[in-house]
Amino acid sequence: MIHENENLTPGEAREALDSVAKMEGAGWRRAVPERWFGAGIATLIGSMFAVYALQDPYPYIVFPIIGIPVLIAAGREKVGAYGRDFSDGKSNKWMLALFAAVLVVVFFGSIFIRRTYDAPWVSVITGLLVGLTVFLASEHERRAYIAKAGGGQG
Amino acid sequence: MTKARLNTVIHAPNRLQICAFLTPLQEAEFQVLRDELDVSDSVLSKHLKQLEEAGYVTFRKGAVNGRQRMWASLTKAGRKAFSAHVEELTRIAGVVSTPVN
């Protein structure tokens, strides 16, 4: 597939590189997550924590558990493309794994405190803080995509 | 004129654009690609098939609301070949090289 005798002028090569840069920018622009998507995921994850403020949270925990994959699928279908930046690369995978581990510790920690001290507000505060953290992370990701797309969206 | 080692599968303008568009993405839907390239379904299918035959692109089919949809993504070999192609273009153009994702 490599053609050794292809003749190309520097000008033609520059033209091809311009087209590459333009299409890469278009790819990034398509992948910019919408704000409602980040807010929706943040709300659902936060509610997973906050629902433990209730006496019997188990009938309600099913909503975020079902809602998160449904929202992710809906977001992808709506945009028709999604970026590889956050799920690819060793450092990104480690960051995601670390974040998930922290969430698990906070999750069980808040349940333990809520039950030990009978303090339902602990679950509510934890849910709010986790939801806010997820939303800020989604905004950070959104800005990173916009920067790579060359700006123009906000 | 400069003698170049160009990948003839990728070098065609539409296929170069397809690879460039898919580079930052995990997957893109067929219709999205068609709209971005501003080509007909048949033209896009032809180019995607050539990239698939070279092992540079894979497809995933899925139904949404009863409608069949096709998602395309670059393979590892596709990313490597595209990156090498862009490096060669950069060399010919005589511009400072920037890494390709």
Tens digits of residue pLDDT in A39-87:
999 999 999 889 988 888 888 889 999 999 999 888 888 888 888 765 5
Hey, is the C-beta of B96 within 8 angstroms of any chain A C-beta? no
Domain map (residue ranges) of chain B: 8-91
Hey, is the C-beta of B52 within 8 angstroms of any chain A C-beta? no
pLDDT of A153? 41
Domain map (residue ranges) of chain A: 10-148
Chains A, B: CB pairs < 8 Å: 118
Q: Does residue A150 sit in helix, strand or coil? A: coil
Q: Contacts of residue B9 in chain A, CB cutoff 8 Å?
A: 1
| A83/B26 Cβ within 8 A | yes
Q: How far is CA A55 from the centre of its chain?
A: 31
The ipTM is: 0.85
Q: CATH number of B8-91: 1.10.10.10, 3.30.1330.120, 2.40.50.140, 1.10.645.10?
A: 1.10.10.10
DSSP string for residues in B1-47: -EEEEEEHHHHSHHHHHHHHHHTTEEEEEHHHHHHHHT--HHHHHHH
Q: Contacts of residue B11 in chain A, CB cutoff 8 Å?
A: 3, 6, 16
Hey, is the C-beta of A118 within 8 angstroms of any chain B C-beta? no
For an interface test with A, the pick among B26, B32, B71 (most A C-beta atoms closer than 10 Å) comes out as B26
Express the helix, strand and coil content of chain A in percent, nearest 5 each.
Answer: 75, 5, 15
How does pLDDT run along chain B (101 residues), one tens digit per residue?
A: 555 678 999 999 999 999 999 999 999 999 999 999 999 999 999 999 999 999 999 999 887 667 788 999 999 999 999 999 999 999 988 865 555 44
pTM of the model: 0.78
| B4/A6 Cβ within 8 A | yes
